[in-house]
A and B are shown apart, each in its own frame.
Chain A
Amino acid sequence: MSSTVLLTIAMLSALGLLAAIILYFVAQKFRVVEDPRIDTVTEALPGANCGGCGYTGCRAFAETLVKSTSFEGLNCPVGGAETMGKVAVILDRQPVAVEPKVAVVRCNGTPDNATRTSYYDGAVSCRVAHSLYGGQTGCQYGCLGCGDCVAACKFDAMYMDPVTQLPVILDEKCVACGACVKACPRSIIELRKRNKKDRKIYVSCVNRDKGGPARKACKVACIGCGKCMKVCPYEAITMENNLAFIDSFKCRLCRKCEPECPTGAILEIGFPVKEAKPAEPADAAVN
């Protein structure tokens, strides 16, 4: 009886030892050598795995950072300069200054501005609606209002306004990861330079139709008149396909373009209210 027990113990111990030896050599042979800095960098990153950097997740980005020779073109929009500074210390590199950005919805097609000509009752998805038809208004470029962008936002920085039927971006929460930009089938959302006090001046329209049809579809459409382009002292405004575009990196927020816009397509946000204009000169009033 006792010999059976002893034999069993001996057998199992021998087997275990053999397996341990095999495992040891196998582990030696197939060992993966990994840079320990990858783990440290991963820990320094926010861990949101949002893909805003252009890589599949924080770890993939960390691997790229460790392999890279310079930080040119590499940036974590979530952590911003602070995180990139930490990473630069770990990897002993020079941090590259990157302008912080913020997502902006370039459509103002509220039910008041753009009259609804039909009602969509299909699957609640902008991608589906976009594949089916031009949209509930006469504008085939504007917001479809199904909220694919809101669903894509991982930072709780967006919501659909039930009154305007447009998405709203909370500037303080937006990290400019670009998920909403990718989710929008109509490329309405744009990442723009984040200015002081979240001030913005932008053309809130993406309608590429000529002036007449654009205006007919929406009261606040850009009609492509080009007045804003002429008045801009910094050449920040370009016209393409009947649509004005303000380059947020060239714009210096001089506020000259907004009063020029005949339809109110250019929006100024975050500025103090302008003082009432001085009375017009008498000779101008004659006309």
Chain B
Amino acid sequence: MLKTFPKGGIHPPENKLTADRPIVILPVPSQVTVPVSQHIGAPAVPVVEKGAAVKAGQLIAQAKGFVSTNIHSPVSGKVNKIDTVVDTTGYKQTAVVIDAEGDEWVETIDRSAALVKEITLSREQIIERCQQCGLVGMGGATFPTHIKLTVPAGKKCDMLIINGVECEPYLTSDHRLMLEKGAEVLTGVSIIMKALGVENAVIGIEANKPDAISQLTELAKDFKGITVQPLKVKYPQGGEKQLIKACTGREVPSGGLPVDVGVVVQNVGTSFAVYEAVQKNKPLFERVVTVTGKSVKNPGNFMVRVGTPVTALIEAAGGMPDDTGKVVNGGPMMGKALAITDVPVTKGTSGIIMFPADASKRAEVMPCIRCGKCSSACAMGLEPWLISVLGQKAMYEKAEQEKITDCMECGACAYTCPAKRPLLDYIRLGKATVIRMARERVTK
């Protein structure tokens, strides 16, 4: 039976234009720009000097503290400079610019394509390897993986959920990964299960990917404890809390973490990265990115090195269409428009979407008509119209009472609003301020 989460949700047009396009390996670019902050947490500290020769997979920036990750060189060549460049956030950040020469990898990386199923590392070694290899959540939030794999003392985890939902319209990178690297993904899942010490894992996949469901179901027969759960198509099913509710019926308490109900959620892309890190000793320096758009000539899924300029990706997809009005980094619902396209791909870049000008322009904002559509669309059971106004009017105490911090910024409210109010913009603003206030309260 198809399961789903009970509250709210919307059905945006899927537009999965690239679902049948196999992953194409993009040639190594002549120059890469690797930002030192590609994850949630403290930026990494560069450990290479200008002019230093580096190999692909070599550490170029060391994690600073626990909530941070290592950054590795995605190419072999020479460090051109360490400078501040505009990255996908739209702000200038420190980045290591490397001129590529050849494609020589660090010797310890196993470059063969052979599947290694046997897990030889221990629990602690797996987590340590994930930390060393700079793994982050590949779904877009880029939270360091080693922290998620470390179950906090006093908490018990009994289930792993793998997010193969890919509920964002247009994006197909996880879908292709499940089809083409199914066995590797499942091995990755087994590794994460071992790291967490759990017996069961559920892979949640939406019903619009029947080929991925059937293939993983078939492959999962060879893996102990892994089942595939088909899910009804509904946005935002890929939200952690929604996926847990859909797959297990458990509800994560407000302000809590999935581990509070004994669950850890990891993305399909992360599972693949874990496989590569643990079995092949390969740090995270490349990922699958969907480059798509309705007027794009050659949309597709590309395996690219981190630090590749987005312009190179757009070129690979047949160039930017003339009618393009907006280039979005990520999915159309949660992604962010790019101010300039000359920015590097980071560990969290799941897609690059080019929207025609007429489809991307925001409509004129009208007054709220109190229709309540946003409240019915909210998968967290919040009242978006209210918390949005509270954020706009800087009434943060009230916003906190109204659980603004439970918002996961999926954008379903703004999508459904007939008055085209920028609900999410103000909710984000209020949420950020409330979180900061709460943090200040704790430190006082």
Assuming the contacts A122-B425, A123-B425, A125-B426, asked whether A131 and B361 have C-beta atoms less than 8 A apart, the reply is: no
- How far, in Å, is B67 (CB) from chain A's closest CB? 21
Assuming the contacts A132-B90, A134-B90, A134-B91, asked whether A123 and B336 have C-beta atoms less than 8 A apart, the reply is: no
Assuming the contacts A131-B428, A131-B429, A132-B336, asked whether A125 and B392 have C-beta atoms less than 8 A apart, the reply is: yes
Whether A241 sits at the interface, judged by CB under 8 Å, is: no
Whether A24 sits at the interface, judged by CB under 8 Å, is: no
- Chain B residues with CB below 8 A from A124, complex form: 365
Chain A interface extent, by class? 10 to 19
Whether B224 sits at the interface, judged by CB under 8 Å, is: no
- Using CB atoms, name the residue of chain B closest to A136: B339
- Chain A residues with CB below 8 A from B257, complex form: none
Is B429 a contact of A122 with CB atoms below 8 Å?
Answer: no
Give A177 to B90 CA distance when docked, in angstroms. 32
Tell me the dominant secondary structure on chain B's binding face. Answer: mixed
Is A133 a contact of B339 with CB atoms below 8 Å?
Answer: yes
Is A117 a contact of B339 with CB atoms below 8 Å?
Answer: yes
Give A136 to B365 CA distance when docked, in angstroms. 21
Q: For chain B residues 185-239, which have a beta carbon within 8 Å of chain A?
A: none
- Chain B residues with CB below 8 A from A121, complex form: 361-362
- Using CB atoms, name the residue of chain B closest to A118: B339
Chain B interface extent, by class? 20 to 34
- Chain A residues with CB below 8 A from B392, complex form: 125
Partner of A128, one of B84, B340, B426: B426
Partner of B425, one of A125, A134, A136: A125
Whether A83 sits at the interface, judged by CB under 8 Å, is: no
Give A121 to B337 CA distance when docked, in angstroms. 10
Partner of A118, one of B340, B361, B428: B340
- Chain B residues with CB below 8 A from A86, complex form: none
- Using CB atoms, name the residue of chain B closest to A185: B429
- Chain A residues with CB below 8 A from B92, complex form: 134, 140, 209
- Chain A residues with CB below 8 A from B337, complex form: 133
- Using CB atoms, name the residue of chain B closest to A137: B339
Is B425 a contact of A133 with CB atoms below 8 Å?
Answer: no
Q: Which of B336, B392, B429 has the most CB of A within 10 A?
A: B429
Whether B89 sits at the interface, judged by CB under 8 Å, is: yes
- Using CB atoms, name the residue of chain A closest to B327: A118
Partner of A133, one of B89, B429, B432: B89
Is B90 a contact of A122 with CB atoms below 8 Å?
Answer: no
- How far, in Å, is B437 (CB) from chain A's closest CB? 15
Tell me the dominant secondary structure on chain A's binding face. Answer: loop
Whether B419 sits at the interface, judged by CB under 8 Å, is: no
- Using CB atoms, name the residue of chain A closest to B92: A140
- Using CB atoms, name the residue of chain B closest to A117: B340
**CB-CB contacts of A91-128 with B at 8 A, as 1s and 0s?**
00000000000000000000000000110011111011
Q: For chain A residues 194-237, which have a beta carbon within 8 Å of chain B?
A: 209
- How far, in Å, is B95 (CB) from chain A's closest CB? 14
**CB-CB contacts of B78-107 with A at 8 A, as 1s and 0s?**
000000101001111000000000000000
- Chain B residues with CB below 8 A from A136, complex form: 339
Give A209 to B91 CA distance when docked, in angstroms. 12
Assuming the contacts A123-B422, A125-B429, asked whether A133 and B362 have C-beta atoms less than 8 A apart, the reply is: no
Assuming the contacts A133-B91, A134-B86, A140-B92, asked whether A122 and B422 have C-beta atoms less than 8 A apart, the reply is: yes
- Chain B residues with CB below 8 A from A132, complex form: 90, 336, 425
Is A127 a contact of B91 with CB atoms below 8 Å?
Answer: no
Give A123 to B365 CA distance when docked, in angstroms. 9
- Chain B residues with CB below 8 A from A135, complex form: 90, 339
Q: Which of B84, B90, B92, B426 has the most CB of A within 10 A?
A: B90
Q: For chain B residues 387-444, which have a beta carbon within 8 Å of chain A?
A: 392, 422, 425-426, 428-429, 432
- Chain A residues with CB below 8 A from B339, complex form: 117-118, 133-136
Give A135 to B339 CA distance when docked, in angstroms. 8
Assuming the contacts A117-B339, A131-B432, A140-B92, asked whether A122 and B362 have C-beta atoms less than 8 A apart, the reply is: yes
- Using CB atoms, name the residue of chain A closest to B85: A213
Give A135 to B337 CA distance when docked, in angstroms. 12
Give A125 to B340 CA distance when docked, in angstroms. 21
- Using CB atoms, name the residue of chain A closest to B340: A117
- How far, in Å, is B423 (CB) from chain A's closest CB? 9
Give A122 to B424 CA distance when docked, in angstroms. 10
- How far, in Å, is B417 (CB) from chain A's closest CB? 12
- Chain B residues with CB below 8 A from A127, complex form: 429
Give A124 to B362 CA distance when docked, in angstroms. 12
Give A135 to B86 CA distance when docked, in angstroms. 11
Q: For chain B residues 116-133, which have a beta carbon within 8 Å of chain A?
A: none
**CB-CB contacts of B341-384 with A at 8 A, as 1s and 0s?**
00000000000000000000110010000000000000000000
Q: Which of B336, B339, B425, B429 has the most CB of A within 10 A?
A: B339
- Chain A residues with CB below 8 A from B86, complex form: 134, 140
- Chain A residues with CB below 8 A from B84, complex form: 209
Is B91 a contact of A140 with CB atoms below 8 Å?
Answer: yes
Give A133 to B425 CA distance when docked, in angstroms. 13
- Chain A residues with CB below 8 A from B89, complex form: 133
- How far, in Å, is A211 (CB) from chain B's closest CB? 14
- Using CB atoms, name the residue of chain A closest to B90: A133
- Using CB atoms, name the residue of chain A closest to B86: A134
Give A134 to B340 CA distance when docked, in angstroms. 10
Give A131 to B89 CA distance when docked, in angstroms. 9
- How far, in Å, is B82 (CB) from chain A's closest CB? 14
- Chain B residues with CB below 8 A from A117, complex form: 339-340
Give A135 to B89 CA distance when docked, in angstroms. 11
- How far, in Å, is A144 (CB) from chain B's closest CB? 12
Q: For chain B residues 31-84, which have a beta carbon within 8 Å of chain A?
A: 84
- Chain B residues with CB below 8 A from A123, complex form: 365, 422, 425-426
- Chain B residues with CB below 8 A from A134, complex form: 86, 90-92, 339
Give A42 to B301 CA distance when docked, in angstroms. 68
- How far, in Å, is B270 (CB) from chain A's closest CB? 26
- How far, in Å, is A9 (CB) from chain B's closest CB? 50
Listed by A's residue number, 29 A-B pairs whose Cβ atoms lie within 8 Å are: A117-B340, A118-B339, A121-B362, A122-B362, A122-B425, A123-B365, A123-B422, A123-B426, A124-B365, A125-B425, A125-B426, A128-B422, A128-B425, A128-B426, A128-B429, A131-B432, A133-B91, A133-B336, A133-B339, A134-B86, A134-B91, A134-B92, A134-B339, A135-B90, A136-B339, A140-B90, A140-B92, A209-B84, A209-B92
Instruction: Given contacts A118-B339, A134-B339, list 6 more A-B pairs with CB under 8 A.
Output: A121-B362, A122-B425, A125-B429, A128-B422, A131-B429, A140-B90
Report, nearest first, the 4 A-B pairs whose CB atoms are least far apart: A133-B90, A123-B422, A123-B425, A118-B339
